[in-house]
Structure 1
Amino acid sequence: MNYKEVLKKVGAALLALTFWEIAALLIHQRILLVTPVAVARRLCTIWRVEGFARAIWFSFYHIAGGFLLGLILGCMLAYLAAKHPVVETLLWPWMATIKSVPVASFVVICLIWLSARNLSVFISFLIVIPIIYQNVLEGLRAENREMQEVATVFQLPWRKRFRYIELPKLRPFLLSACRVTTGMAWKAGIAAEIIGVPNGSIGKMLYTAKIYLDTDDLLAWTVIIVVISVVAEKVFLAGLSRLLNPCSRFMEDTDAGY
């Protein structure tokens, strides 16, 4: 990203904050909407609230865990479906249902089966798995005849075929799916926490702020959620991108091995 794009995004963010400030001043009701300046002040002190770090760790641990479970199982199921069409047929009604049912319905139903403490893990998992599954399945079915011919000429073993052909082919599909699902996992996970209200979670903090009509805290916690979600997405995608980009070493390894 060059500096011009950065300046454009900073300008857009400042413009949005300006509209927010004007709206809050016009409404002039702190219960309905506070100014971004008030939220910024609260962000400077909210870390002193009892259980602040524990709440962030609790939510991050559970939502990230659900996301990773959905990522791993989605990739495994997509691989099986690509190899065996009957698996895709059997999975179709499940994936279609998971994609169609509202998150709130899942949360209410899952509260019957699970404790509130583990709810965000399962809800994040459910949101992630169908998108990962569908994207990885499409990536596995995408043809790359030139690379397959190179692999045949060099007689690459299956491990190197997977590393240098299948992974780069999957890269845009998997990165696109993860880019979408990281944010969705956080939104769904926090929504589950607000409904289930597990102790020591960000969802409990948001629910408490809503009960006491503490709009400063409500918006401050919302900003914290956005920041954590964005940072987690950037870090995870950077690592995944490096993992799925071994092409630069392809000729080097083939020359050394053959």
Structure 2
Amino acid sequence: MLRLTDKKSVREAAGYLSGVLVLLLVWHVIALWLNNPVLLPSPWKAIAEVVRMFLHPAFYREWLYTILRGLAGFAIALMLALCIGLASASWRPAWFLFSPLLGAVRSTPVISFILLALIWFGSENVPVFIAILTMLPLISFGIIDGIRNTDGELLEMANSFRVSRWNVIRHIYVPSLLPFLFNGMSNAMGFGWRAVIIGEVLSQPFRGIGSRMRDAQNYLNVPELIGWTLVAILTGYLFETLVRRAEKSLMRWKSVAS
């Protein structure tokens, strides 16, 4: 017999699958109604285009360039966020300094930063710069919230029993921080990939998903454009899922270790 968690997973999978099938059906009906493959191809033609792309070696070079740009932006944003977040959560002047900056960056439309970056940098660096700016506030505020939501009673108890600073950080601050950090990283992955690809579309670097999307648009190749769009969606979902899985694995490991 299926366990309760297995049944829940099956129901969730069935729900997602039903949603995808409904979306494909609506798409197919609209494509039949328009009867113009140049304007909107059928979903089956778009899926066939994705399969064709996956079978072509050049596809993986384009995909790899976008992935490397996104991961580079994520790594830099994470390092900066750790410095900014830890400083802002533990030192009030740092909070007053960085909070307005992070809020402004988070509220500014991505297109504004892209247009500025096109003036400041070469086309190859624009997507990485945009990834950093998009991901930095999300991860930073996650770190700040995690530290500020640390249980005050646990800190008082640790202080009363003269627990070492290292053990306080390891056993109190880190467990409080991790869920917020992973949530911030997951959101950053979701928004960051979109920003990277938008940056590629507008800056036209040598390789990348966004560059190929722009080429497809220039040549009115709608099936290829939709195919690259599906690849972009898959990329964001893949890395967001990896972060969530890493969080679950780490939490499971910590519970076993403790």
TM-score (norm 1): 0.89
Alignment length (residue pairs)? 250
CA distance in 2, matches of 1:216, 1:63: 25
CA distance in 1, matches of 2:150, 2:56: 54
CA distance in 2, matches of 1:225, 1:19: 21
* Aligned counterparts, 1:42-121, within 5 A: 42-49=49-56, 51-121=58-128
Kept in 2, the 8 Å contact 1:164–1:247? The answer is no
For 1:101, give the aligned amino acid.
T
Kept in 2, the 8 Å contact 1:175–1:241? The answer is no
Shift of 1:159: 2.8
Shift of 1:49: 4.5
Say which SS state the counterpart of residue 71 (structure 1) adopts: helix
For 2:257, give the aligned amino acid.
R
1:41 and 2:48 are equivalent in the alignment: yes
The one-character-per-residue Cα deviations of 1:31-79 (angstroms, maximum 9, x if unpaired) are 2211110011112212355631111110000111102221221122011
Kept in 1, the 8 Å contact 2:123–2:204? The answer is yes
Shift of 1:155: 4.8
Question: Partner residue of 1:249?
Answer: 257
Shift of 1:168: 1.4
For 1:179, give the aligned amino acid.
S
**Gapped regions of structure 2 (runs ≥ 5):** 1-7
Shift of 1:148: 2.9
CA distance in 1, matches of 2:141, 2:107: 14
For 2:129, give the aligned amino acid.
F
Q: 1:148 to 1:244 in 2, by over 3 A?
A: farther
Shift of 1:228: 1.8
Name which of structure 1's ranges 91-100 and 113-122 shifts more when overlaid on structure 2: 91-100
* Aligned counterparts, 1:186-197, within 5 A: 186-197=193-204
Kept in 1, the 8 Å contact 2:194–2:236? The answer is no
CA distance in 1, matches of 2:28, 2:162: 64
1:201 and 2:201 are equivalent in the alignment: no
1:165 and 2:149 are equivalent in the alignment: no
Q: 1:247 to 1:154 in 2, by over 3 A?
A: farther
Question: Partner residue of 1:11?
Answer: 18
For 2:187, give the aligned amino acid.
V
CA distance in 1, matches of 2:57, 2:92: 53
Shift of 1:247: 4.2
